[in-house]
Structure 1
Amino acid sequence: MEKNASVASDVLELQGFDISPEFTYPLFFLLLLVYLSLLFSNIGVLALIIMEKSLHQPMYFLFCNLSVNDVIGNTALLPQVMAHVLSTKRFITYNQCVAQAFHSHTFGSASHLILIIMAIDRYVAICHPLRYSSIMTGRTVVGLSVVVWGVSLVLVSVLLGLTVRLSRCRSFIQNAYCDNPSLFKLSCEDVSINNIYGLVFTVLLFTCSIGGIVITYMRIALICWIKKNKELNNRALQTCASHLLLYLIMLWSGFLTITLHRFPNYPDLRKIAHILFHVVPANLNPVIYGLQTKSLRVKIVEILQRKKVIPF
């Protein structure tokens, strides 16, 4: 298939990863291991929270959003990437490509917004513990979750809607996966509107994300400094340090992916950054938010003891 077709085709060719034959299977099995690991950990923690009534608390329900987002976002990306690692002919239909781009961008925007509401939850728990149950009610949690998913779906729908309206004069995607920039680069029309909205979308998302995290963490740090309570400081440090580490990893890998789209001389680095943006937080989330949370950790140990996996 030619890389620049004069007539738009419903079948697109992806560039994929440029790897040596001897690294094909090691890369495939590495991606498979990573994918199975994130599926097992996220679905396992999600099922535990649903089944255990003692875990039906605002913090855990908010965490469910993160697990669902990680599973859907990575399922839309990794199986196709793994299949194309083994194949020399990497084809995908235009509709499948749009669907993958939609899930990928929804994953990215929802990840940022979910971490914001989780930071707000931690702020209320640490700074207003006596009012926590009255503020973070079930209705509040559901409302925050609906806002996160609603905003993400609307923003991404407009983003992809501006792209699918364009006519196509190419059928070759210079990428290993489908995203919005790769899709609108298939067009020979003026894509200024796409670039402008994409920039506004990115700036708005990052501003809200960074601003929300900075404000909540500064308030938490201020309360800890004023009260000088050792137990409060330890609780805040344990909760916020892991949350901040995960957020920084996700932030910089996402920022690197977006920036490298403006520098076509580094295609492999961009592809790797995008994969890391998906798989690293998805594998760390259950560990950071699950195993470091005492109630959830206790339930996991109880289940393992019941099954006699570990001795009493």
Structure 2
Amino acid sequence: MESLHNVSSAITLESFNIPPQGVIPAFLFASLSYMIILLCNLILIFTIVLSKNLHQAKNLFLLNMPINDLIGSSAFFLQLIKEILTDSRSIEYSPCVTQAFFIHVYAAATVLILTAMAYDRYVAICLPLKYNAVMTHAHITRIIAAVWVTSLLMMAALFYLLLRLPRCRSKITQLYCDNPSLLSLVCASTAVNNIYGLCTVAFTQLFANGMILYTYLHILVACFRSKRSDTKAKALQTCATHLFVFLLLECLGLFTIISYRVKEMTPNLRRFMGSLTLIFPPTLNPIVYGLKTREIRENVMRFFRTVTSSRCRNRVLHPSC
């Protein structure tokens, strides 16, 4: 164990073990993955913001999903790309804590945003006549604000409890910084941190899963009672897409949380699943919601047609015109 007084301010992360000839391909793969996530989520954001016909409750909730995905993926990929490029697995403690904070905010906000979206679908399908009266802009704003304030405050308290503790180690066996990894550097009792962390997970999971279960049971009942087959099919398709994204996130997130408490879990599997949580959902969400939502898909295609037409008018001799 390193001396408490001599502990380095730099944190050493788990090595990638990339051979010299693999550095450039790894850098290009990581950069390309991040650029795809960036491009897809920005297209979704700008499509919703710039299209007035998309300023509806369900799309205002959806707008927060790509914003949150950019927070999580940027916190992960920017540090990852830097480490690959510089061939360094060392990071200062403050940036490490910052990365961990935003990764945890991303995780908490994702669950709460999906819960808010489920509530919106419940009101739209089960209480269609009251939808406009219930889902006013003021009510939507309050829900969105509650999602972000709750996520930020929960994680601020989590990391306040972490930063009050002394460190006596400087090596993390994870590919990125997160709260459990930072707690492993502490040389004091972490009982309070562990209890608060478990309470935070329990609260978000019980609230989210309880709300999802309640809303989807009512939605299924409403769909099967509906005599309009087109309405039933559209509602079930929307809910199936939402439920798929939610279950995917839950499986990845819960596996990562449980893996820290199962000593028999191999570190490589833990690192792999933890990385998937930060790569897969931000890549999949804009594709699923962008391509599966007809209004958004049509607006994206209209935007690209407008750009292409403008390009052709300005450059008549362009081969694509």
Give the deviation of 1:24 after TM superposition: 4.1
SS of the residue 1:117 aligns to: helix
Indicate the residue corresponding to 1:171 in structure 2. 170
Q: TM-score, normalising length from structure 1?
A: 0.93
Indicate the residue corresponding to 1:289 in structure 2. 289
Deviates more, 1:264-273 or 1:171-180: 264-273
Give the deviation of 1:219 after TM superposition: 0.7
Cα separation, 1, equivalents of 2:135 and 2:206: 24
Cα separation, 1, equivalents of 2:160 and 2:93: 14
Q: Is the 8 A contact 1:42 1:286 kept in 2?
A: yes
Indicate the residue corresponding to 2:316 in structure 1. none
2:48 aligned with 1:49: yes
Give the deviation of 1:232 after TM superposition: 2.1
2:65 aligned with 1:66: yes
2:299 aligned with 1:299: yes
Equivalenced residue count is 310
Cα separation, 1, equivalents of 2:20 and 2:214: 49
Indicate the residue corresponding to 2:130 in structure 1. 131
2:117 aligned with 1:111: no
Indicate the residue corresponding to 1:77 in structure 2. 76
Indicate the residue corresponding to 1:215 in structure 2. 214
SS of the residue 1:92 aligns to: strand
Indicate the residue corresponding to 2:16 in structure 1. 17
Residues 305 and 147 of structure 1: is their aligned pair in 2 closer, same or farther, counting only changes over 3 Å? same
Q: Is the 8 A contact 2:223 2:236 kept in 1?
A: no
Q: Is the 8 A contact 1:16 1:177 kept in 2?
A: no
Deviates more, 1:154-163 or 1:296-305: 296-305
Give the deviation of 1:308 after TM superposition: 3.1
Indicate the residue corresponding to 1:36 in structure 2. 35
| CA deviations over 1:68-108 (Å, ceiling 9, x no partner) | 11111111111112222345431111111111111010000
Cα separation, 1, equivalents of 2:59 and 2:238: 14
Q: Is the 8 A contact 1:5 1:171 kept in 2?
A: no
Residues 51 and 209 of structure 1: is their aligned pair in 2 closer, same or farther, counting only changes over 3 Å? same
Residues 146 and 249 of structure 1: is their aligned pair in 2 closer, same or farther, counting only changes over 3 Å? same
Cα separation, 2, equivalents of 1:254 and 1:20: 30
Give the deviation of 1:183 after TM superposition: 0.8
Cα separation, 2, equivalents of 1:169 and 1:288: 45
5+ residue gaps, structure 1: none
Cα separation, 2, equivalents of 1:228 and 1:192: 55
Deviates more, 1:179-188 or 1:8-17: 8-17
Indicate the residue corresponding to 2:255 in structure 1. 256
% same residue: 36
Give the deviation of 1:110 after TM superposition: 0.2
Indicate the residue corresponding to 1:27 in structure 2. 26
SS of the residue 1:178 aligns to: coil
| CA deviations over 1:3-35 (Å, ceiling 9, x no partner) | 845422221111143455555443333222221
Indicate the residue corresponding to 2:224 in structure 1. 225
Q: Is the 8 A contact 2:54 2:296 kept in 1?
A: yes
Q: TM-score, normalising length from structure 2?
A: 0.91
Cα separation, 2, equivalents of 1:89 and 1:279: 21
Q: Is the 8 A contact 2:114 2:246 kept in 1?
A: yes
Give the deviation of 1:230 after TM superposition: 1.0
5+ residue gaps, structure 2: 313-319
Larger radius of gyration: 2
Cα separation, 1, equivalents of 2:284 and 2:235: 19
Residues 229 and 4 of structure 1: is their aligned pair in 2 closer, same or farther, counting only changes over 3 Å? farther
Cα separation, 1, equivalents of 2:100 and 2:275: 13
Deviates more, 1:109-118 or 1:33-42: 33-42
Give the deviation of 1:307 after TM superposition: 2.6
| CA deviations over 1:150-179 (Å, ceiling 9, x no partner) | 111111111111111000111111211111
Deviates more, 1:278-287 or 1:109-118: 278-287
Cα separation, 1, equivalents of 2:91 and 2:228: 57
SS of the residue 1:149 aligns to: helix
Indicate the residue corresponding to 1:96 in structure 2. 95
The 5 Å alignment of 1:146-185 reads 146-185=145-184
Deviates more, 1:161-170 or 1:269-278: 269-278
Q: Which amino acid aligns with 2:247?
A: L
Residues 227 and 37 of structure 1: is their aligned pair in 2 closer, same or farther, counting only changes over 3 Å? same
Deviates more, 1:24-33 or 1:53-62: 24-33
Residues 211 and 23 of structure 1: is their aligned pair in 2 closer, same or farther, counting only changes over 3 Å? farther
Give the deviation of 1:294 after TM superposition: 1.6
| CA deviations over 1:223-264 (Å, ceiling 9, x no partner) | 112224312210112101111111111111111111111235
Cα separation, 1, equivalents of 2:90 and 2:23: 18
